[in-house]
Amino acid sequence: MDPSVLLTNVVSAAIGFFVFFKLFRSHQENKEPSSSSSSSSSSSSSSLSSSSSSAPSSTNCTYDVFPSFRGEDVRKNLFSHIQKEFQRKGITHFNDNEIKRGESLRPEIVAAIKGSKFAIVLLSRNYASSKWCLDELVEIMKCKQELDQTVLPIFYDVEPSHVKKLTGDFGKVFRETCEGRSKEETERWRQALEEVATIVGYHSINWDNEAAMIEKIATDVSAELLNNAPSSVLDSYVGMRAHRAKMEQLLCLESNEVRMIGILGPSGIGKSTIARALFEEYSHKFQLSVFMENIRRRFPIPCRDVYSTQLQLQSEMLSQVFDQQGINIRHLDVAKDRLKDKRMLIVLDDVDHVMQLDALAKEARWFGPGSRIIMTTQDKRVLHRHRINHIHEVGFPSDRKALKIFCMYAFGQKSPCYGFESLARKVTQLSGNLPLGLVVMGSYFRGMTSRQEWEMELPRLWSSVTGEIESVLKFSYDALCDEDKDLFIYIACFFNDEWIERVEEFLAENFSNVRYGLRVLADKSLISIDRGWIRMHNLLARFGREIVRKQSIHGPGQRQFLVDGRETCQILSNSYTPGNINVIGIDCEYSDIEGGLYKNDKAFEKMSNLQFLRIGDTHPRVHLPQSLKYLPQTLRLLDWDGFPMTSLPSNFSPEFLVEIYMPSSNLEKLWEGNQTIRNLKRMYFRDSKNLKEVPDLSMATNLWKLDLSGCSSLVELPPSIGNATNLNELFLSRCSSLVELPSSIGTATKLKRLNLSDCSSLVELPFSIGNATNLTELDLGGCTSLVELPTSIGNLHKLLSFTLKDCSKIEEPLPVNINMKSLRILDLAGCSLLKTFPEVYANIQRLSLNGTAIQKLPSSITSWTHLYHLAVPYSENLMTSLHAFDLITELHVCDQRIRELGPWIKEMTRLRKLVISGCTKLVSLPQLPDSLRYLEAENCESLERLDSSSLQDVGANFGNCFKLKQEARELIIRTCRFAVLPGEQMPMYFLWQATGSSLLMKGNGMDPIPLMGCVLVVNKVGDSKEEMDVYYCIKDGTTCVRHRSRIHSQRFPVLNEHLYTFEIEEKEVCCRESSVFEFEVRDKKWEVRECGLNLVANYDFKI
């Protein structure tokens, strides 16, 4: 074929697939195997997106950018270079060269500001000397407020704090300009300068290379212009206008309430398409947004550990929302705490269980006013159980609309080409009006330009199709060549929802060109590829698995893949005894197995072709003999969670292995000697507590990731780890027996992440660690035997995060230079010998010094504009200077010497979390800032008084605060959204009370009113550091919905009786004639002695 013709066909097909994928994507993005988080449809926290939710409508804008600058400072240098870079990137900006300056802004300047998508403010030393510049800034900030214009400040040789507080040379120039001006005018200027100084922008002092800063500015502006370009998806998809009209009524965007909306319909009907189109249309109107795809497949419930799955699900959502990799949470109240004041747009795609919603959007109050949460599901019960009444039910399109959908993919237009009318109607009828089938068939006929081609295909189609989707899909499958058919089966049975690079690695020996084959499948709309992830629709995957089942209906051993747990049991047990078994892949989840997985020691002996083995966590439901005598030499993926044997078979050769994934295994070692493992790229043995020996890695030249976290019996790593020259990530956390690292670690120069946290026996790091200059994350937290650090750590010029938490033997002064410009997170908490504040760069965002002997911070720290998290030890100097940290949102001041918190705490107007646990001499708390959302005051055993008039919207932990006076206790119970505090009996004013854990409430048809729950919990063992999880179940005669509320004890045991108060999410319970509440505590060390309910609006606060 002519290469130009081939290229044209490929491009056309790719465009067709892209349109299809935008419309029918329904699978959630998995976390990238390489630990870098997968791309997500979430709002960014970058400078541009954080400065404004959106720019003015593109259709109304004349310019991309309006620049405001002081010509004498920057016109001939910085701005001229920015102009040139803008021109190179096709960014149009307003030019005022021919406009004469006057006393007031000319109308064309005002029009240009309003007609620009972005405003860039170049704040230089003499910017405030120009009344013209100041008036421009006032107008710009007005447009930011009224038109959602994006404003981007550039601080050129000036400090943001000088601009905000009008100090230094900048303030001096401003005061000179204000001379002779009216108070009203100067106040407008002052407010505009203060506001623009709080916007995250670019600071020239942080850049060694001005050209690099200019390139970054232009690149960011260009990227934001592309991201905010209007989407045509709503207009291009047939029937979308009608769906949008219905959804707009349900969304009611003008309302400030938090609203949850469901999109209901069968698989393949277009629910995800509608949700995606709405997300692209409206996400810019919200402060933060996220599209969580394919939740049902990625986070199935029920599962073995529902709570862990919920934690994982919420962690991923928060990672996407805040564009922050690897967020890990310990309880489900985190989302509620972090998102309560954020205006959110959240799409939860393909939900099938209410517990998934409990993890992501349990109640409306988790989110800020005006938030919208959209869920797509096939199960109406999920929406009803989550009390979602705003539902858009998506039905099958009419025959006319179905024809239009088909034509869009077959002809690229909404109607058949001349002469194809009857043929198009026939195919549409056979597709069953299911949008997915219409797209698949349309893609198949795309490019067939003659009636003869269509007529030749139609008889076969007509004879084989009964109108059901399976037949439609089979028709397109049969049109594939043999190799592409095989690839389709591999994806359907084993590699759906996988990173494309992993699939290529695994299948490189099976197909001549994996990537090309995937592109063919995508062109045929049989899979989609989005930002590197392979997706196959559920219907297509089921269809592919059915093809495999029919390869041998009564002989599963003769099929290519085993995906049914019961059949896997049959194959791996003694009950199956035919000859050679042709299986190349086994994918078996423990939940598919009833009664356990029974295997004999020769279970895999006949599987000479097995390449991919994935067995979910079967422990303790897998039953094996004392040894496993054989594993196929052909294995490329060995994925066995909870592997029960102490070693792999002695005759196993890992020559073809690409990945070995065996977390929580019983392994003591893998194999003997130096094996050929050149193909091996990833090794996971997390929490394999018996693992004592890592195999020789001399041949592991392609190893990319090694995870040995929690391998508590591991004493050393092999010196051959230095041969793993492509090693990128090494995780050794909780390897409590590990004494040292081999010096050869320094030759792993591509290493980026090294986690040694809680390696309590680790004595030293080799000096060669300084050669790993690509390290971005070094975690030594909890290395309690570590005495000193090698000075070579100062060579790690790319380090972003450095943790030395609880390294109590690290000596003073810190024997290493950590003044890297790259450093963002520094955790020295618990380094009790440290007295001197180390020299660090001002880019730090999170700084933890609690538990050190540091008593003085550098005066410059108050101007660190990036610092938002601060944990400090007690000292008089520190306590009196904390008010200067006006950007801090999270403050930890935990020290037994603290007797009081001064009035300075009230001045921290951005503070959202305050932790003062363990302040045993603290007697009273002063007035707290209104911004506070969480207060951790556990084990403040002398605390008596709270001087605040209200703790409205605050969650508080006062565990073990036994001296709290009656007034303080009343305030906590009355105003906190949830709280724990000592108590021996239920407050008398609770209307419904009962002894024990069960309570009957007679609502008698009251209006829906929020309820406050209270339980008196008793620690049966007297000392427990476990988390306090309180569950309650509401029975209304027919159903029982289990809810979960929680307070987390991080450091101290909760002793004796305590009261736990919390709000009941289900307001409608008051409307019922009667309901039974059952309360329980997850940890059996606790019991519920009394329980009670009260109407929030009817408190009679007399205890």
| Model pLDDT, residue 2 | 43
Residue 545 maps to a domain: no
Alpha helices in 228-322 (DSSP H): 233-236, 240-251, 271-282, 295-298, 306-321
- The residues, any chain, with a CB within 8 Å of residue 805's CB and separated by 6 or more, are 757, 781, 782, 827, 828, 829, 830, 831, 848
Q: Are 261 and 15 in contact (CB under 8 A)?
A: no
Distances (CA, A) of 872 to 783, 881, 893, 912, 1040: 21, 12, 6, 16, 46
Name residues whose C-beta falls within 8 Å of residue 976's C-beta, 6 or more positions apart in sequence.
Answer: 951, 954, 955, 956, 1061
Q: Rounded distance, CA 917 to CA 937, Å?
A: 4
Please check whether residue 63 lies inside any domain of the structure: yes
* Whether residue 166 is found in the same domain as residue 249: no
Average pLDDT of the residues of the chain? 81
pLDDT tens for each residue of 452-482: 888 887 776 654 443 446 765 676 788 788 9
Q: How far is CA 313 from CA 308, 644, 928, in A?
A: 9, 28, 33
In the predicted model, is pLDDT for residue 45 greater than 50? no
- Candidates 662, 499, 572; CA nearest to 33 is 499
The residues, ordered by sequence, that sit 6+ positions from 785 with a Cβ below 8 Å of its Cβ are 760, 761, 762, 763, 809
647 CB neighbour count, 10 Å cutoff: 17
HSE at residue 159, side-chain half, CA atoms within 13 A, is 15
Residue 604 lies inside a defined structural domain of this protein:
no
C-alpha span between 868 and 844 (Å, rounded):
9
Minimum mean pLDDT range among 98-107, 203-212, 557-566, 886-895? 98-107
Would 600 be classed as within a structural domain?
A: no
State yes or no: pLDDT of 29 exceeds 90: no
Q: H or E stretch including 204?
A: none
Identify the H or E element spanning 388. Answer: none
pLDDT > 90 fraction of the chain, expressed in percent and rounded = 32
Three state DSSP letters for 911-925: CCEEECCCCCCCCEE
Domain identity same for 489 and 389: no
End-to-end CA distance of the chain: 88
Per-residue pLDDT, 20: 35
What burial letters (b/e) apply to 400-410, b meaning 16+ CB within 10 Å?
ebbbbbbbbbb
- Do 513 and 468 belong together in one domain? yes
In terms of phi and psi (left: phi > 0; alpha: psi -120 to 50; beta: otherwise), the region of 554 is alpha
Residue 8 domain-assigned?
Answer: no
Mean pLDDT of 572-599: 65
Contact criterion met (CB below 8 Å) for 962 and 941: yes
**Nearest one of 122, 158, 126, 147 to 137, comparing CA atoms:** 122
Q: What is the per-residue pLDDT for 347? A: 96
d(C-alpha 264, C-alpha 877), whole Å = 60
Beta bridge partners of 924: 900, 945
Alpha carbons 643 and 501: distance in angstroms, whole number: 26
Residue 10 has a pLDDT of 34
Distance of CA 474 to the CA centre of its chain: 37
Highest mean pLDDT among 32-41, 460-469, 534-543: 534-543
Mean of the pLDDT values across residues 155-161?
91
Lowest mean pLDDT, pick from 118-132, 797-811, 876-890, 1016-1030 = 1016-1030
- On whether both 265 and 222 belong to a single domain, the answer is no
Q: Across 831-906, where does the E strand assignment appear?
A: 846-848, 869-871, 890-892
Q: What is the rounded distance in angstroms from the CA atom of residue 1091 to the CA atom of residue 992?
A: 8
DSSP state of 720: G
Give per-residue pLDDT as tens, 897-934: 888 888 888 888 889 999 998 898 999 999 898 899 99
The edge-to-edge listing of strands for the beta sheet with 288-292 is: 288-292, 344-348, 372-377, 259-264, 390-393
Quickly state the pLDDT bin for 1018 (edges 50, 70, 90). confident
Domain that holds residue 317: 31-39+230-393
Q: What is the mean pLDDT of residues 768-775?
A: 93
**Span 1056-1101, pLDDT tens digits:** 788 988 888 665 555 566 778 888 887 777 888 999 988 775 444 3
Q: Identify the three-state secondary structure at position 981.
A: strand
Q: Is residue 1008 part of a domain?
A: yes
1043 within 8 A of 978, measured Cβ to Cβ: no
- Say which range, 30-39, 226-235, 307-316, 851-860, has the weakest mean pLDDT: 30-39
* C-alpha to C-alpha distance for 648 and 656, rounded to whole angstroms: 15
pLDDT at 826: 93
Q: Which amino acid is at 829?
A: A
Contact criterion met (CB below 8 Å) for 560 and 584: yes
From the centroid of its chain, how far is CA 538?
24
- Co-location of 88 and 164 in the same domain: yes
Q: Answer whether 558's CB lies under 8 Å from 585's CB.
A: no
User: So which residues are the catalytic ones?
Assistant: 136
Residue 732: what pLDDT?
A: 96
Q: Work out the pLDDT band at 379, boundaries 50, 70, 90.
A: confident
Domain identity same for 62 and 164 = yes
Q: Is residue 660 part of a domain?
A: no
Confidence at residue 167, expressed as pLDDT on a 0 to 100 scale: 92
For residues 442 and 342, membership in a common domain is answered with no
Measure Cα distances from 926 to 874, 894, 942, 943 in Å.
Answer: 17, 16, 15, 12
- pTM for the full model? 0.60
Query: Residues of 321-340 as b/e, b for ≥16 C-beta within 10 angstroms?
Result: bbbeeebebebbbbbbbbbb
Domain closes at, from 500, 531, 562: 531
**How far apart are the C-alpha atoms of 241 and 236, rounded to whole Å?**
9
How far apart are alpha carbons 968 and 973 in whole angstroms? Answer: 9
Inter-CA distances, 888 with 43, 198, 517, 562, 871, Å: 23, 13, 52, 55, 10
DSSP string, 426-453: HHHHHTTT-HHHHHHHHHHHTT--SHHH
- Strand locations in 582-667, DSSP E? 585-588, 597-598, 612-615, 622-623, 637-640, 659-661
Could you tell me if 246 and 188 lie in one domain? Answer: no
Share of the chain above pLDDT 70, in %: 82
Query: Would residue 465 count as lying in a domain?
Result: yes
Count of domains for the chain? 4
Helices (H) and strands (E) in the chain, counts: 30, 43
Q: For residues 20 and 444, is the Cβ–Cβ distance under 8 A?
A: no
Whether residues 1011 and 1068 share a domain: the answer is: yes
Both 125 and 79 in one domain: the answer is: yes
- Same domain as 105, residue 75: yes
CATH number at residue 1016: 2.60.120
CATH code for the domain of 306:
3.40.50.300
Buried residues in 105-135 as b, exposed as e (16+ CB within 10 A): beeebbebbbbbbbbbbbbbbbbbbbbbbbb
- Residue 252 sits in the same domain as residue 365: yes
Using one digit for the tens of pLDDT, what is the confidence trace for 615-640? 876 444 555 555 678 889 999 999 99
Contact 644, 617 (CB under 8 A): no
Are the C-beta atoms of 721 and 742 separated by less than 8 Å? yes
